[in-house]
Amino acid sequence: MAEIVDSCRALSVNPLIVSQRVGAVLAFLGLSGSLPLEHGVRGCAAFTKLFFMRHFREPIPLQTSAVDQIATVLGSDENVIEALRTVIERNHPEIVGLVSTTLAEFQGADIRRALGEFRRKFPVHADVAIVPVCAFDEIGGIEAGFARAVEALIESLVPAGRCPGAGSSRVNILASSMMTPGDIEVLKEWVSAFDLDPVVVPDLAASLDGHLLDEGFSPLTCGGVTRSEVERMGEAVATLVIGPSLGRAADILRTKTEVPDYRFSSLMGVEACDQLTSLLHELSGRQIPARILRQRAQLLDAMVDCQFYTAGTSAAVAGDPDLLGMLVGFLTSVGVEVPVMVTTARISALADLPTKRIVVGDLDDLEREAIAHSAQLLLANSHAVAISGRLGVPLLRVGFPQHDLIGAHAKTWIGYAGTRQTLFDISNLLLQARQGPQPYISIYRQIDGDSPKERKPA
Amino acid sequence: MTTALSDIEMTMGDGEQRLLDAIGHAVTTFNPAAVFVYITCIPAMQGSDVESVTRSASGRWKIPVLTVDCAGFYGNKNFGQRIAGDVLFQHVIGTREPDPIPDSARRQGIRVHNINLIGEWNVGGEFWNVAPLFDELGLRILCTLSGDSRFRDVQTMHRADANMVVCSKALMRVARRLEETYRTPFFEGSFYGVSATSESLREFGRLLEDPDLVERIEHVIAREEQRVTKELAPLRGRLTGRRALIFTGGFKSWSTVSAAQDLGMTVVATGIEKSTDEDKARIKRLLGPNARLLDNNDQAAILRTFEECHADILIAGDRYIYPSLKARIPFLDLDHVRDVGYAGYVGAIEFAWRIVAAVEHPVWNQVRRAPPWNLSVSTPRRNAA
């Protein structure tokens, strides 16, 4: 049982939280032919774009309604309508993610009303899906914003009522933003290995995995789950939900479609992986593929090999709640204690995590807590690099953003193989940081006359 | 370093000139205190006259160049160490007088005694756990043969007032010959475990016949044991009743047994592969007459015994690591290639902690558990509408 405390400072130093609107935009980047449109000021969108570009090393389709000082004072609904018209007519997206920002929300902008007005004014664009998301920085960061966008997506695009296709092998997957494109790719392969047909909403593995296309650059997303696949979620035999932040999105989907869902807080560690494998085995009625059993055996071997290096070590972890839950479960299962974690939102379910203390705060809290608990390993985003240097404690980059690491988007954390690689990475960091005993020099030590340093060459 | 003899040199017997050149290169480049030339199988089989090469190299470069005639086909590792010990005794020990005790190290009321620790290998730096106590007691270690020593330390070993043979039957002859030649008394001891460490310190008090030293030793022992007992208490609680199978060679076969027993563990069996009769007698004293003594070093047999004895942990050398991990058995590495020190009072805490960490590690339950699809009940939670 963990104690959740708020960082009591008036000042946030080296913030951990990434704005909700970033998460909401991310969700729309996993849809095919999609264009996220931020309703807010230019600078907001510029930073969202910059963070994504540096993390994914991809061009990021993102537009803004460019609210200026006059619109801020006099009302900005007109900006929404004008922006929608412009991006639709210029870029021809299939889906527009209309993401409001904190400024717009506070100013009193009503994006739903503005959207209604746009629909009345421009019936010619009726075939373009427009999904409004209120990304208002109240509780939570990127994971919460991503979840809000998924909820909005389901509410807007998925028709009510179950329509199971005969003998459908379709499986819906809702995957929290803690999952990298690399993770989602592995998850899809995992499901496919049982002859099931995965549909990930949104599918970052199909868009932000980093792939060169013959078409070259596109102002819209390249790849991602299609609108029609989203609309047919009711045909699935089951929905897999990865990450507690998607609980509400899952509720909405289940209420609408009556497709049974199976919720996982993590797919790291042998236990969580076994649960999914077992579920897929039951859903499909297929034998467990030999390759999966082999990867499981490889993970178990890595666990016994690495236990020497993880035993008795401790880590301090910072990140959004889903990611924390996944990492702390994994770390504990391989023998790394996590005495303290820093997170972005006070979520009561976090209290069940196997840690002593959860601080709702910033990376400065991570630094203090890591010192207080003598952590031997830090897990946080790239903004903790300087802390790692100051403390002389190795950092494993997790979460978002990771701008100083190539391939962060492609790294796989989940599954038997991903868990194994992460365990290797952690063990190597601990091993390299390990210091041998200090030599003891006796007070009676005879003068080191024969040491090569002291003797002149003959 | 190696002369890296080529097939031609081996066939033609040109190795001797090559060796002389190699020694010359090593001496002029690295400027060592001495050169030891080890004869390996091929030159030994060929009958290369290494001795004459090293003699001439000695004269030419004016440093000791010594032959260690230890070809692999002569015997096992212990025998090689015995040969090296003989070379050191014959050619190195007694060739230099110890430096005077530095003024900075003189303390009032503490008479300094010279001692040697023979067969102390300072594995993983573990002797540095114990070394400060010797300084505190005024016991000047002339040489730890050869864990943390220099050539010039070995040269002065004949001036010790007492010797301890730490972990090596192979170097016992060095201690015996020091006793015969220089009348230096010696004893066999260990720094593995609290009681063995205390006992070793007491032995020095006995051999050195210094009542004041004896008193100071008792004081140090009382202080250290009190400290360790306090720190070990929580670990001991977690180890009491745990069952260990120990498979280490020779001397360690009993010193590890006593270290594990110190922690409240039950030693279910121990290896006696390289143990002498004396070692075996000690083991029987520690384990009682019904002790299970293993002389078969076959890995599968050891794992079988582990299961039969319902042991919790295997404590052995590193060649047993991966077989035991494959069998999902907790393991503690006691080999000479490790970076963790178990010697002395501090090491006893490390030893206990490592056993606790190994036995209680969370991976064991996970790797032993049958996967859910092999059970009748399925585990995932279904949220049906």
Complex ipTM value: 0.82
- Each residue of A296-319: b (16+ CB within 10 Å) or e? beebbebbbbbbbbbbebbbbbbb
Reduced to 3 states (helix: H, G, I; strand: E, B; else coil), residue B93 is coil
Q: Locate A119 and state its tokens.
A: 């629909």
Residues of B in contact with A248 (CB under 8 A): none
Q: Which of B98, B105, B325 sits opposite A304 (nearest CB)?
A: B325
Residues of B in contact with A444 (CB under 8 A): 101-102, 105, 112, 135, 140-141
Q: What confidence tens digit (pLDDT) does each residue in A77-129 have?
A: 899 999 999 999 999 999 999 999 888 888 888 999 999 999 999 999 999 99
- pLDDT on residue B251: 63
Residues of B in contact with A259 (CB under 8 A): 385
**What is the spatial distance between Cα A353 and Cα A341, in angstroms, rounded to a whole number?**
10
**Nearest residue of B to residue A279 by CA position?**
B380
* Number of A–B residue contacts, CB under 8 Å: 141
Residues forming beta bridges with residue A197, ordered by sequence position: A170
8 Å CB contact of B99 and A282:
no
| Cis status of the peptide bond prior to B146, with omega within 30 of 0 | yes
- Quickly state the pLDDT bin for B10 (edges 50, 70, 90): confident
Q: Which of A304, A446, A455 sits opposite B153 (nearest CB)?
A: A446
**What is the spatial distance between Cα B304 and Cα B327, in angstroms, rounded to a whole number?**
10
User: CB distance from A276 to chain B under 8 Å?
Assistant: yes
- Other beta carbons within 10 Å of A214: 4
Q: Which of A303, A307, A444 sits opposite B101 (nearest CB)?
A: A444
**What is the spatial distance between Cα B214 and Cα B232, in angstroms, rounded to a whole number?**
26
Write the DSSP string, B319-342: GGHHHHHHTT--EEE-SSS-S---
- Domain B233-367: assigned CATH number: 3.40.50.12380
- The Cα-based distances of A354 to A4, A274, A329, A430 in angstroms read 12, 20, 7, 21
User: CB distance from A217 to chain B under 8 Å?
Assistant: no
8 Å CB contact of A450 and B33:
yes
8 Å CB contact of A455 and B31:
yes
User: CB distance from A285 to chain B under 8 Å?
Assistant: no
- Quickly state the pLDDT bin for B337 (edges 50, 70, 90): low
Domain boundaries defined on chain B: 7-74, 111-227, 233-367
Put residue A278 in one of left, alpha, beta given phi > 0 → left and psi -120 to 50 → alpha. alpha
Q: Locate A204 and state its tokens.
A: 């970052």
- pLDDT on residue B77: 83
**Nearest residue of B to residue A332 by CA position?**
B362
What number of CA atoms fall less than 13 Å from residue B68's CA on the CB side? 21
- pLDDT on residue B287: 86
Query: What's chain B's Rg over C-alpha atoms?
Result: 25
B102: DSSP letter: P
Closest CA to A227 of A112, A84, A129, A99: A129
8 Å CB contact of A436 and B380:
no
| Residues above pLDDT 90, as percent of chain B | 63
Query: What's chain A's Rg over C-alpha atoms?
Result: 25
8 Å CB contact of A434 and B339:
yes
| CA–CA min distance B383, chain A (Å) | 5
**Nearest residue of A to residue B363 by CA position?**
A334
What are the backbone angles phi and psi of residue B41, rounded to the nearest 5°?
-55, -50
User: CB distance from A447 to chain B under 8 Å?
Assistant: yes
Residues of B in contact with A269 (CB under 8 A): 366
**CB interface of B with A, residues 32-51, below 8 Å:** 32-33
Closest CA to A295 of A414, A446, A139, A172: A414
Q: What confidence tens digit (pLDDT) does each residue in B138-197 have?
A: 999 999 998 889 999 999 999 999 999 997 778 999 999 999 999 999 999 989 889 889
The fold for domain A20-139 equals Rossmann fold (3.40.50)
**Nearest residue of A to residue B375 by CA position?**
A278
CATH 3.30.465.10 matches B111-227? no
Handedness of CA A100, A105, A107, A110 (dihedral sign): positive
User: CB distance from A249 to chain B under 8 Å?
Assistant: no
Q: Which of A335, A434, A439 sits opposite B361 (nearest CB)?
A: A335
User: CB distance from B12 to chain A under 8 Å?
Assistant: no
**Nearest residue of B to residue A237 by CA position?**
B384
8 Å CB contact of B366 and A450:
no
User: CB distance from A307 to chain B under 8 Å?
Assistant: yes
- pLDDT on residue A166: 57
Q: Which of A279, A448, A458 sits opposite B27 (nearest CB)?
A: A458
Residues of A in contact with B372 (CB under 8 A): 274-275, 278
Q: Locate A190 and state its tokens.
A: 């995992």
Q: What confidence tens digit (pLDDT) does each residue in B17-49 have?
A: 889 999 999 999 999 999 999 999 888 888 889
8 Å CB contact of B357 and A449:
no
- Other beta carbons within 10 Å of A152: 23
Question: Do B210 and B181 contact (CB within 8 A), yes or no?
Answer: no
CATH 3.40.50.1980 spans which residues of chain A? 3-10+311-434, 20-139, 170-293
8 Å CB contact of A439 and B112:
no
CATH superfamily assigned to domain B7-74: Nitrogenase molybdenum iron protein domain (3.40.50.1980)
Q: Locate B337 and state its tokens.
A: 């290639």
User: CB distance from B374 to chain A under 8 Å?
Assistant: no
Task: Name the pairing type of β-strands B382-383 and A261-264.
Answer: antiparallel
Residue with tokens 């044991």: B225
Q: Which of B32, B99, B366 sits opposite A270 (nearest CB)?
A: B366
**Nearest residue of B to residue A440 by CA position?**
B128
Q: Locate A379 and state its tokens.
A: 């897990």
8 Å CB contact of B128 and A332:
no
User: CB distance from B162 to chain A under 8 Å?
Assistant: no
Q: What confidence tens digit (pLDDT) does each residue in B250-268 have?
A: 667 777 888 899 899 999 9
Q: Is the pLDDT of residue B12 over 60?
A: yes
Q: What confidence tens digit (pLDDT) does each residue in B83-136 have?
A: 999 999 999 999 999 999 998 899 998 999 999 999 999 988 999 999 999 999
**What is the spatial distance between Cα A419 and Cα A440, in angstroms, rounded to a whole number?**
40
**Nearest residue of B to residue A272 by CA position?**
B380
Choosing among A307, A309, A430, which should be mutated to test the B contact, i.e. which has the most B CBs within 10 A? A307
| CA–CA min distance A241, chain B (Å) | 10
Q: Which of A259, A274, A307 sits opposite B363 (nearest CB)?
A: A307
pLDDT in tens, chain A (458 residues): 789 998 877 788 889 999 999 999 999 999 999 999 999 998 889 999 999 999 999 999 999 999 988 888 888 889 999 999 999 999 999 999 999 988 888 888 899 999 999 999 999 999 999 999 998 777 789 999 999 999 999 999 999 887 766 568 999 999 999 999 999 999 999 999 999 999 999 999 999 999 888 878 888 998 999 999 999 999 999 999 999 999 999 999 999 999 999 999 999 999 999 999 999 999 999 999 999 999 999 999 999 999 999 999 999 999 999 999 999 999 999 999 999 999 998 888 899 999 999 999 999 999 999 999 999 999 999 999 999 999 999 999 999 999 999 999 999 999 999 999 999 999 999 999 987 788 899 999 876 554 444 444 44
Task: Name the pairing type of β-strands B139-146 and B113-120.
Answer: parallel
- pTM above 0.80? yes
Residues of B in contact with A300 (CB under 8 A): 366-367
B360: DSSP letter: T
- Domain A170-293: assigned CATH number: 3.40.50.1980
Q: Locate A71 and state its tokens.
A: 């619109």
- Quickly state the pLDDT bin for B277 (edges 50, 70, 90): confident
Reduced to 3 states (helix: H, G, I; strand: E, B; else coil), residue B302 is helix
Burial class of residue B91 (count of CB atoms within 10 Å of its CB; 0-12, 13-18, 19+): middle
**What is the spatial distance between Cα A193 and Cα A189, in angstroms, rounded to a whole number?**
6
Closest CA to A243 of A149, A190, A177: A177
User: CB distance from B365 to chain A under 8 Å?
Assistant: no
The fold for domain A3-10+311-434 equals Rossmann fold (3.40.50)
Type of residue at A32: S
- pLDDT on residue A458: 41
Reduced to 3 states (helix: H, G, I; strand: E, B; else coil), residue B191 is coil
**Average pLDDT value for chain B:** 90
Strand stretches in B211-265, DSSP E? 243-247
**Nearest residue of A to residue B115 by CA position?**
A444
Strand order in the sheet with B313-316: B292-294, B266-271, B243-247, B313-316, B331-333
User: CB distance from B376 to chain A under 8 Å?
Assistant: no
Q: SS3 for chain A, per residue?
A: CCEEEECCCCCCCCCCCCCHHHHHHHHHCCECCEEEEEECCHHHHHHHHHHHHHHHCCCCCCEECCCCHHHHHHCCHHHHHHHHHHHHHHHCCCEEEEEECHHHHHHCCCHHHHHHHHHHHCHHHCCCEEEEEECCCCCCCHHHHHHHHHHHHHHHHCCCCCCCCCCCCEEEEEECCCCCHHHHHHHHHHHHCCCCEEEECCCHHHCCCCCCCCCCCCCCCCCCECHHHHHCHHHCCEEEEECHHHHHHHHHHHHHHCCCEEEECCCCCHHHHHHHHHHHHHHHCCCCCHHHHHHHHHHHHHHHHHHHHHCCEEEEEECCHHHHHHHHHHHHHCCEEEEEEEECCCCHHHHHCCCCEEEECCHHHHHHHHHHCCCCEEEECHHHHHHHHHHCCCEEECCCCCCCCCCCCCCCCCHHHHHHHHHHHHHHHHHHHCCCCCCCCCCCCCCCCCCCCCCCCC
**Nearest residue of A to residue B342 by CA position?**
A437
| CA–CA min distance A218, chain B (Å) | 40
